[in-house]
Amino acid sequence: MQKRKLGKSNLEVSAIGLGCMGMSFGYGPPADKKEMISLIRSAVEQGVTFFDTAEVYGPFTNEELVGEALAPLRDQVVIATKFGFKPDPNGGTRWSALDSRPEHVKEVAEASLKRLKTNVIDLFYQHRVDADVPIEDTAGAVRDLIQQGKVRHFGLSEAGVKTIRRAHKVQPVTALQSEYSLWFREPEAEVIPALEELGIGFFPFSPLGKGFLTGKISADTEFDKTDFRNIVPRFTPENRKSNQAVVDLIGKFAQQKKATPAQVALAWLLAQKPWIVPIPGTTKPHRLEENVGAAAVELTREDLQQLDAATSKIAVQGARYPEELQKLVGR
């Protein structure tokens, strides 16, 4: 698989990465650990070099899974993880409070290094912007970790442009991770131009619309009771019914390209900028192979114009987060 450079940094990764969250958290019960270790190692064999996790996924179990799976292949891969939430003092899975105080950032780094079975974190993201801690203080803590050789690169997740600029002055930001796809294009207005100006790479998460753009979810699909999509307004049955128009359009386009809808959605992202690397997640080997195959799907300028023109006429229904989570993004 071809590689991509993230902005002005020297970080180079495969054109398609692998988001590992759903293996342990968010989309129903955790998948079988042995099967997921096999899936992650299979991804490396297929050319994937970028793997994304976070302490909150599980919590902790996803980092442990990724660490175990990649330990024998560590010199071939780039591992990203995240800090910024405060764990439930009762040991549960709720992570409602934010905590990006410098001392906490450094504690998380030490714990993540152990769980990931490594001596350096390649990319360390602030998971959500903490309004109670100046971003300069947080960026300074990551700068310290970089100077100590414990972290290689600093990233932000779901941050707004003002925060990105402020952080970048203290410690250059290598990459931003935020949602971006054919059915969520908000970053195009302000975020992507700012990233281009500053030389910062972009890892879109949910590039397949949390599974919806694959065409395998309908208004009648029932999610497991622990599935995050149950509380996402965009995934109410009525909104799924309305939003099917986007999927149908991508499906027709995919037939013309002799590709799958998922491959077209990923190829569209790859075509936006040379420093964009989507990180679709999956627990299924055949989906992994399909997603990796998207890197070989070429969309012409005419293809992109047609896709843009057609999708711009469809108003996507429903917010991408429930209200309390929406408050944490874009600040």
pLDDT of residue 88: 72
- According to DSSP, the residues that pair with 227 across neighbouring strands are 27
How far is Cα 116 from Cα 65, in angstroms, rounded to an integer?
8
Of the listed 57, 125, 180, 321, which one is catalytic?
A: 57
- The owner of tokens 């908000």 is 186
Cβ atoms of residues 178 and 207 within 8 Å: no
- Could you give the angle at the alpha carbon of 278 between the alpha carbons of 140 and 243, nearest 5°? 120
pLDDT at residue 86, rounded to an integer: 86
Q: Which residue has the tokens 């998380």?
A: 108
CB–CB of 198/7 below 8 Å? yes
| Residue 267 pLDDT | 98
Residue in the structure block whose two tokens are 């991509």: 4
CA gyration radius for the chain? 19
β-sheet bridge partners, residue 175 = 155, 201
What are the pLDDT tens digits along the chain (331 aa)? 999 999 899 999 999 999 999 999 999 999 999 999 999 999 999 999 999 999 999 999 999 999 999 999 999 999 999 999 987 766 665 666 899 999 999 999 999 999 999 999 999 999 999 999 999 999 999 999 999 999 999 999 999 999 999 999 999 999 999 999 999 999 999 999 999 999 999 999 999 999 999 999 999 999 999 999 999 999 999 999 999 999 999 999 999 999 999 999 999 999 999 999 999 999 999 999 999 999 999 999 999 999 999 999 999 999 999 998 999 999 9
CATH topology of domain 3-210+272-297: TIM Barrel (3.20.20)
Q: Give CA–CA dist 156/171, Å, rounded.
A: 11
Say whether 57 is catalytic: yes
